[in-house]
Structure 1
Amino acid sequence: MSARQRGTLCVFLAAVLYSIGGLCIKLIPWSGMSINGARTAIALVVIGLYLKATNHKPKMNLWVLVGALAVCGTNILFSIANKLTTAGNAIVLQFTAPIFVILFSVLFFGKRPQKLDLAACGLVLGGVLLFFIDSLSAGGMLGNILALLSGISYAGVFLMNDMPDSDPISSVFWGDVISAVVGLPFLGYETEFSGNTLIALVVLGVFQVAVAYILMVEGLKTTPPVTASLVSGIEPVLNPILVAVFYHEMIGPIALVGAMIVVGSVVLYNVILARQTSPTETGGPL
């Protein structure tokens, strides 16, 4: 297996692990802040061991901090959104991240959008609109807004590798530090500490946060961003399926149409972009 194939496999496995987040968060009867504080505290132990094993000392500079804030924002917003809207809504709205990558590339890196970029943005925004129409009766408007904001911060996670003087694994480490410090005080308000709750929490911290982020960081070293974004499309598909099977929470009919538009648009965008990219190039803005 070549280095690029191993990298792509790492990205795929990371996306699979990310997808269990919706189900585990639903199974824990805590607030989103409590869950995120506890799971990132657990993740810090695993990431710390990984850094020690690889002799990698966490760095800190402006761009590492920007990446850390993106990681922290993604963690917190997604956890809270999962408690306020359906897991399907939360993950699909977060999957708008590639579109914000395009917008940030224009605003901060001076890259002019192509017609394909603009068409993808229009389709995704149309799909997102359907989520908010569906939430008017479902009562999940705030959750949908927070999920959409998590998509914005998630775009920053994808851009960590392109930031000058960046160190993605250090950003992940410090992002989890901030998440744990902010979230752990909320544990004082929780009263339910059953075995199932603690098991779900450990699964979140060890696999859905720590191992998944480590795999993603390692995978992006050799995987072009376009390929990584396409492979990550398994997450918004698998996440609501797991929740529907084990938690019996179904996505609304109008939001389901929106989900198909959002996921389909992003995947189609990446397929077309990958075909336009020569084998020697590392990929587009995603």
Structure 2
Amino acid sequence: MKKPEGIGALSLCALGWSLGGIFLKYVSVNSFAAAGIRSLFSFIVMAVLSRQLPHFFVRNDVTGKVDSAQTVSLWLSAFCYAATMILYCVSNKLTYAANVIFLEYTSPLWVILFSSIILGEKNSKIDYITFAGIAAGMLLFFADDLLAKKNGNVSETMVLGNTLAAFSGITWAGTTLFQRKQQILIAQRIREYGATVVPKHNTSRDAFMLAQILTAVFGLPFIFLMKGGIPDLQSVVFLFLMGLFQMGLPNILYSIGIKKVTALSASLITMIEPLMNPVWVFLFVHEIPTVKCIIGGVIILGFILLREFVSKRR
């Protein structure tokens, strides 16, 4: 049953996530350094609010030994999420914010493609229909680039930005798949040893916090290695706001809200992010994506929602 506090938490979470596109437009530091500084602030916020540091290993409480399979899934999820955050920051500097968020939301396409390999789960007919729909939506994002290249006036940065944003959909799918893999492994351990083997800590939160560490370690050196790395005051302020309102608080709110609503409700509520992200950018920096990109984004979100409704009915 839906609970008002769960709906409120996820709504605020999605609104926080949606601020990334507009905040990054006010940051002049290079993209790698921006990702690192944002993650540093985000890690501090998450550690303070949860009053815990991340666990680097998952242990079997019965044997006392490190569960290697769960630990590997934990770190793979963290690496994928770190890659997603870096690609998000880089691609936002190269293409429209709307393109970035819509292409990141192509992750279900890759989840469908790789779930049978990584998770051993079978796909249904609606999964393949969703796959085709999202693929068609993706093509529209690159239609302008292909036409422009044919006419000799292609924007190389736009092509690169769209390509990196598309890759962020793959890495975000990896985050989802390996977190799902952890839940499957926990269920297996319960069958083997009993309920006492369930980790006492939140492995999803651990993966998100570890990802912040990885991104900070990767990105912070670029403050000194690249031109434009040392941020000015405005950049520091907006990166702090991103760490607090766009990453740290939303991740905490998501962990609260996801426990109080159905999976379908969570999917629908968090659709606020791709809907509001381009709205903020339009209102504050007057950035307008092309018609083809908007149509592509609507197709992608539409097929994702269709899949959620059909899955829920089943």
TM-score where L is the length of structure 1: 0.87
1:67-82 → structure 2 map (5 Å cutoff):
67-82=77-92
Structure 1 regions of 5+ residues with no counterpart? Answer: 278-286
1:192 to partner: Cα distance = 6.5
> For each residue in 1:187-216, what CA deviation from the matched residue of structure 2 results, as whole angstroms up to 9, or x when unmatched?
123266444322211111111111112222
Distance 1:135 1:157 in 2: 29
* Partner in structure 1 of residue 308 of structure 2: 270
Displacement of 1:95: 0.8
* Change over 3 Å in CA distance of 1:267–1:196 after alignment to 2: same
How many residue pairs end up in the alignment? 273
Tell me whether 1:11 sits opposite 2:10 in the alignment. Answer: yes
Structure 2 contact 36–216 (Cα < 8 Å) conserved? yes
How many angstroms apart in 2 are the aligned matches of 1:273 and 1:145? Answer: 30
1:58–1:173 Cα contact (<8 Å) kept: no
Does structure 1 retain, via aligned residues, the 8 Å contact 2:119–2:181? no
1:143-158 alignment runs, 5 A limit: 143-158=161-176
Q: TM-score, normalised by structure 2?
A: 0.80
Contact 2:37 2:219 in 1 (8 A): yes
- 1:283 alignment partner in structure 2: none
Q: Which residue of 1 is the match for residue 212 of structure 2?
A: 176
User: What amino acid is the match of 2:134?
Assistant: V
Map 1:182-197 → 2, pairs under 5 A? 182-188=218-224, 189-190=227-228, 193-197=231-235
Q: 1:167 to 1:191 in 2, by over 3 A?
A: closer
| 2:76 maps to 1:66 | yes
Gaps of 5+ in 2: 58-70, 149-153, 187-201
Q: After superposition, what is the alpha-carbon deviation per residue over 1:218-276, rounded to whole angstroms, capped at 9, x for unaligned?
A: 333344433322222111110011101101111012212211211222123223332x1
Match for 1:133 among 143, 156, 179? 143
Runs of 4+ in 1 over 6 A off after TM superposition: none
**Cα deviation per residue 1:104-128 (whole Å; 9 max; x = unaligned)?**
3222222222111111110110010
Q: Which has the larger radius of gyration?
A: 2
Report the aligned-residue RMSD. Answer: 2.1
The answer on 1:254 being equivalent to 2:288 is no
Give 2:253's aligned residue. 215
Cα 1:11–1:155 shift into 2, 3 Å: farther
